[in-house]
Amino acid sequence: MLANARIIFLVLFLTLSISLSGALPELSSIEPLEYDEASQRLVARGDARLDFENTRIRADRITYYQEFSLADANGGVAISHDGGRLVAKRMSFDSQENIFSVDILRTGQWPYYISGVSAGGTIENTNIQGATVFYDEPSPFGLSVSSGAVRYVNEDDGEYLSVDGATFRIGRIPFFYLPSYRHNFSSAPYLLDINAGSNRDLGHYLQTTSLFPITSWLRAGANLDHYSKRGLLAGPTAQYVYNSSSQSIVGALSTGAINDKGSQAERDVDTLGRQIKSSRNFMQWRHKHHIGERFTTTASGSYWSDSDIIRDFRDDIFDENQRPDNFAEATYMGENWILSAFARFRPNNFQLVQERAPEVRFDLLPIPLSNTGAYHRASASYLQLNEDFDRIAPDITVEGESDRFDLTYRIERPVLLTNWLTLTPLAGARMTQYENQQIDPLFLGQLPVTVDDSFKREIYELGFDLEARAYATYPTLNKAWRIDGLRHLVRPSLRYRYFSDPEDVNGIAAIDRQVFDLKRPLLDLSDLRNVDQIAQSHLVRLGLENLFQTRTEAYGSRTLAELNFYQDIIFQKNLRYDGNEDDVFNATWVELVLNPAPWLKFDLASRFKTESITLEELRTRTTIKSGEIWELGLSTDLLNKRINQYRLDYIYLINERCSFVTNMNFDANSNKFTIFRLGLQTQLGSTWELLYAITFREDARRESDVSFDIQLHLAQGE
């Protein structure tokens, strides 16, 4: 019937020799079309359709006036355009100007939906009266914004809403008002996190963090908390994201201040044993700025009034950042070089920081040396170093400081011995000049000594890398593990390094010192960051790296497993992290990664004391998934005679809206469960995520032994 109606319509127009195709490509309906020649009017009833270009209008009835190029649609009106859809009770449309007006409308695209009393304009520029904008689907707990006037704009640089007199609501309850704001659909929506609970130290508490769109690139809000035993904490928050053809900027700010009403015993002391004052505050700022393809700036600032302000009032942040770092860096990348400036600051009086003000550095990336087949690289830097102890140890009045010039150079020449074996001899040097030195009074725990104001050090590097490459393929098939062929790549290597004796290291005010780090030591002289404490070195590192891959169903390969072995042989013995001397066969590292299927992953990193076959370090992580039903993870962290801890985490999906979560930490040295947490996570509508959790702790320095939390988060769509 519909097809017949469309044929009749075309025949009618050919018969009457009336050309409507330019203004009206197609009008059709289930019932026969009515045409009034005198008034040049067409009427379509019953699933009426008006199609032109990439827009379709459907309604119970559509009347088209050819003389005015005007269409009226009534009853169940739906407009579809480029994947978007608008539903209304009635519509008028000017097909020449592409202007429309509608009554009682609904439109939107996930996660935004709009309803209004009336609207008019074009598809790209629409004014809506009596509008309500919903984030996600309307629900009793849904987040919405209502306004007398909303303007929707779709421009080349994106879509946005301009709202006048915006009232924010949760369900039907208003909670915030803005005179006006503009929100880009490409930017992040609202953020609202609420955490309520009770524990011994804070009492009953309510923590909130909010962010609301202010402009197309800025969200602003507040941290606003109340603690029955401590008082009110408040501070502004902001996030900004800006992108253009020439630059991009992203950053975030979070602050808070509280007049802590807790007693001195409740506030306790900081990490240096000093009494924490009642006036407490924090500020955290992160920033990254790209200009073009070459220039980048990065900054991270964290000011804490005391070492435990974040631990007490924002423990989720403390878990990720227990030692705040404050730095700023700017880099410019040339064709084969990098120019950078890096500064590190110390705004917090409870930290000992090696301040850099700043380090200006030039790096020449590896480039060919004429036609010799060799490659060389170099770097040059200047900085002022400072290490001030007086804030943490007032009796010490002498600071550690120096002006340091550092120059490195390295040359290497790869030699292809066979098509599977490469030998790369290399040589390098590092020359460092110190000026304006003052001694670090806590250097290696020694008593203060006197150093010369000026000191020069030269270290030379000799070595080679010998690498082999081989592979084999096997026609292995396994449907259960989705294995379609197997490729094994193996790379044995031997790396030799010798650093000359830097002579009198006691002549250096050591500020950039060796830190406690259990990763494999860096081998190349120019890569070492403990510049002030480089020791003579003479070693060989043997390595055997294995990679196992299979084909993917679409394209490319998938890594099933990695197994790597490394062995250090030390000829020049130095002191280890525990104060003992290195062994000749110093350490063996074994690393294993297994990911044979999407539901199973295993990571292992271990270090052995080779001569005694003693396991000194072990870190593992096993993850098992059962589709989307449950996920189980087990982690271990072992450092011989120091750390022996285990962690178990488990998630079980009870139904599509509710899941059970738990995690526990066990310390084998004390034979205690240090943390045990049980939680139930659910959804309110499709807008909110709700978590109930109870946490038990053992021997925590500041946290309560038992705490109960209720967390409410605004779900963020992906």
DSSP 522: P
DSSP 320: H
d(CA 43, CA 294): 62
Q: Return the residue matching tokens 């005694």.
A: 612
d(CA 325, CA 344): 8
* Rama region for 467: left / alpha / beta (φ>0; ψ in -120 to 50; rest): beta
d(CA 44, CA 505): 94
Determine the pLDDT at residue 3.
36
Determine the pLDDT at residue 15.
27
Determine the pLDDT at residue 453.
85
What's the half-sphere exposure (Cβ side, CA atoms, 13 Å) at 81?
A: 16
d(CA 663, CA 634): 10
Question: 560 pairs with which residues across the strands?
Answer: none
Determine the pLDDT at residue 253.
95
d(CA 206, CA 666): 30
Over the chain (718 residues), what is each successive 10-residue block's mean pLDDT?
33 28 60 75 82 79 79 84 79 79 82 84 84 80 84 77 84 81 70 88 92 82 94 95 90 96 90 91 96 95 94 87 92 96 93 90 95 95 88 67 95 96 97 86 51 89 96 90 91 96 81 81 92 91 96 87 95 74 86 92 92 88 91 92 91 92 93 93 83 90 88 70
* Rama region for 45: left / alpha / beta (φ>0; ψ in -120 to 50; rest): beta
Average pLDDT score, the chain: 85
Contact of 646 with 627, CB cutoff 8 Å? no
Question: Residue 267: which H helix or E strand, with range?
Answer: helix 264-267
Question: 230 pairs with which residues across the strands?
Answer: none
List the structure tokens of 213. Answer: 């769109």
d(CA 481, CA 366): 42
d(CA 682, CA 687): 11
* 3-state DSSP assignment of residue 418: strand
The 10 Å Cβ neighbour count of residue 24 is 18
List the structure tokens of 206. Answer: 């309510």
Determine the pLDDT at residue 113.
83
- Predicted structure pTM score: 0.78
Contact of 119 with 130, CB cutoff 8 Å? no
Determine the pLDDT at residue 539.
94
In 3-state terms, the chain is what percent helix, strand and coil (to 5)?
Answer: 5, 65, 30
What contacts 21, CB < 8 A, 6 or more positions away? 13
**How do residues 535-570 score in pLDDT, each as one tens digit?**
899 999 999 999 999 998 878 889 999 999 999 999
Query: b vs e for 420-438, b when ≥16 Cβ sit within 10 Å of the residue's Cβ?
Result: eebebbbbbbbebbbeebb
Residue 490's closest CA among 548, 433, 567, 421?
Answer: 548
Query: b vs e for 616-630, b when ≥16 Cβ sit within 10 Å of the residue's Cβ?
Result: bbbbbbebebeeeee
Determine the pLDDT at residue 157.
64
Determine the pLDDT at residue 22.
40
Domain extents for the chain? 365-634, 642-718
List the structure tokens of 256. Answer: 């808070």
Q: Return the residue matching tokens 């992290």.
A: 577
**How do residues 248-265 score in pLDDT, each as one tens digit?**
999 999 999 999 999 998
List the structure tokens of 351. Answer: 């930290």
Determine the pLDDT at residue 108.
76
Determine the pLDDT at residue 18.
28
Question: Residue 3: which H helix or E strand, with range?
Answer: helix 2-16
Residue 186's closest CA among 249, 145, 241?
Answer: 241
Residue 344's closest CA among 404, 282, 302?
Answer: 302
